[in-house]
Amino acid sequence: MFKSLRSRLLLSYTVIIAAVLVILTVTLLLVSALSTADRGVATLGKLAAVSLGTRRELNRLYDAGITNEEAILQVLGETASAQDTRILLMRPANLQVVYDTGEKWSGQVFSNMQSLGSAIRTDTNVLAARLRAPDGQIWLLYAQVVPDRHLGGLVLAFAQQEPSAAQFFRDTFLRPLCSAGLVAFLLAILLAFLITRSVARPLQQLAGAATAIAAGDYEQQIAPAGPTEVQQVSASFNSMATQVKASQQAQRDFVANVSHDLKTPLTSVRGWSQAMLDGMIATPQEIQQTAGIIHGEAERMTRMVNQLLDLARIESGQLKLNRELLDLGQLLTQVQRNLALPAQQKDVRLTLDLQPVPPVLGDADRLMQVFTNLTDNALTHTPAGGRVHISLNGHSDRAVNVIVQDTGPGIPADELSRIFERFYQVDKSRARTDERRGSGLGLAITRELVEAHGGRIEARSELGKGSAFQVRLPVGSPEASTITRRR
């Protein structure tokens, strides 16, 4: 019970309405108990109406020539019984009761009356008062103080018991409160229906789309609808669905690439080792050549396994960085030295431009891995006679930039945004014949390592003119002194 959004909204609205009605009820009961003047207004108004009607009836008798006491008293008694009102005849001098339809107040003189004339805005010829009867009960009195000549100069007065606070509340406020509560409850039902309809329908669509994605249909997109919060959830779901689709596609590409990359060296190792076992390779030169091939293929598989292990450690949060203040100039100089021979073998110029920058706080081995990977990629895609340039400069007082730029063929614009995705490879149809064919993990690992250092990496490229990868890292501390290096 009350598990659905609609029922919970309806319950909450009902509770709020009930609480408001209870507060109003208590407040009005207190007002009714404390405001005796207001409590008597309705009763005095009724007595005024009875007084007017009675006088008209008496005038009708007078006009008909009926002036005997018995007929007049009969009219007064019938009116009192019909209107549940007490009718009195009183002496105008001291307001002594001469006649009482209730037959108990005859001879009484009420000198302790509290005037209520201001409550009903009467004129000076009307008496509106609150009085205490001999039995202690409170009555409200309404009278025309001008003596009636047909009643022997007596004053005609009308009295009724003052309503209690509960009775006044019941007669005055209960019906409006019940009507307001009923209207509010109906509005609550309508609002609950409309709100849940605007919220539940998009949520049901989200649930259906999530089920479809779980079943393998990654083409799900939800049109934003409903309140702003639900639209935000829909937008987040669409983004998630797009990322899931891209991730699934990347994993399929990865499986295809890795299976091929593993199959190729394994086939080579198996073939050459089988040839050695079969005695087809016998001379020392052939054995040396075969061992070199097997070793190279083993190294290729080792690199791929190490990349997979690095990625697994990063994704599981097990990667630990040994942070220390580092001179990026020295680190980049070492990268240039390490890759100078491969660059020379490819006939590619590897140049370095170092500006004075503060030290950064980072893991030397991991940052070496980052810049080695970027520079190695640049050398791999730069043709003979080209250039790979590494530059270091300050971005601000809080960050430094390292840019690795090449003069290779460039990256298509539609693929530039995906090059840092796991398992993604640019131009998957183009075979790389060298022994260091990639698996699409290097740039993904590079980005993870840069972000683990609190930095970020960006790429820009232009077809036919080359690519540039920029790494921005925070400085070690604002107080770090500037280190001057030679270019």
pLDDT (tens digit per residue) in 256-280:
766 766 777 788 888 888 888 888 8
For residue 481, how many other CB atoms are within 10 A of its CB? 8
Q: What is the DSSP pairing of strand 399-406 with strand 387-394?
A: antiparallel
Cβ proximity of 465 and 407 under 8 Å: yes
* Sign for the pseudo-dihedral over CA of 238, 244, 247, 248: negative
User: Stretch 21-37: mean pLDDT, rounded?
Assistant: 73
User: Stretch 123-136: mean pLDDT, rounded?
Assistant: 79
Q: What's the CA gap between 453 and 320, in Å, rounded?
A: 11
Q: What's the CA gap between 401 and 394, in Å, rounded?
A: 6
Regarding predicted confidence, which is higher, 461 or 178? 461
The confidence score (pLDDT) of residue 338 equals 92
Regarding predicted confidence, which is higher, 402 or 67? 402
The confidence score (pLDDT) of residue 401 equals 94
The confidence score (pLDDT) of residue 483 equals 39
Task: Specify which residues 187 forms β-bridges with.
Answer: none
SS3 130: strand
State the amino acid at position 268 in one-letter form: S
Q: Is the pLDDT of residue 39 over 80?
A: no
Q: Is the pLDDT of residue 426 over 70?
A: no
The confidence score (pLDDT) of residue 388 equals 95
Average the pLDDT over each of 231-245, 363-377, 446-460 and give the range with the smallest value.
231-245
The confidence score (pLDDT) of residue 96 equals 87
Q: CA nearest 410: which of 351, 355, 462?
A: 462
Q: What's the CA gap between 69 and 51, in Å, rounded?
A: 18
User: Stretch 175-201: mean pLDDT, rounded?
Assistant: 78
The confidence score (pLDDT) of residue 470 equals 95
| Range with the largest mean pLDDT of 109-113, 145-149, 366-370 | 366-370
The confidence score (pLDDT) of residue 33 equals 67
Q: Is the pLDDT of residue 350 over 80?
A: yes
Reading the block at residue 286, the tokens are 């052939």
- How far is the CA of 480 from the CAs of 68, 324, 326, 421, 473, in angstroms? 120, 13, 11, 35, 14
Average the pLDDT over each of 61-70, 286-295, 434-443, 465-474 and give the range with the smallest value.
434-443
- What secondary structure letter does DSSP report for 146? S
Q: How confident is the model at residue 378 (pLDDT cuts 50, 70, 90)?
A: very high
The confidence score (pLDDT) of residue 422 equals 67
Provide, rounded to the nearest whole percent, the portion of the chain with pLDDT above 70: 85
Q: DSSP for 294-309?
A: HHHHHHHHHHHHHHHH
Q: What is the DSSP pairing of strand 86-90 with strand 155-161?
A: antiparallel
Average the pLDDT over each of 67-76, 367-376, 388-397 and give the range with the smallest value.
67-76
Q: Is the pLDDT of residue 479 over 60?
A: no
Q: What's the CA gap between 57 and 76, in Å, rounded?
A: 9
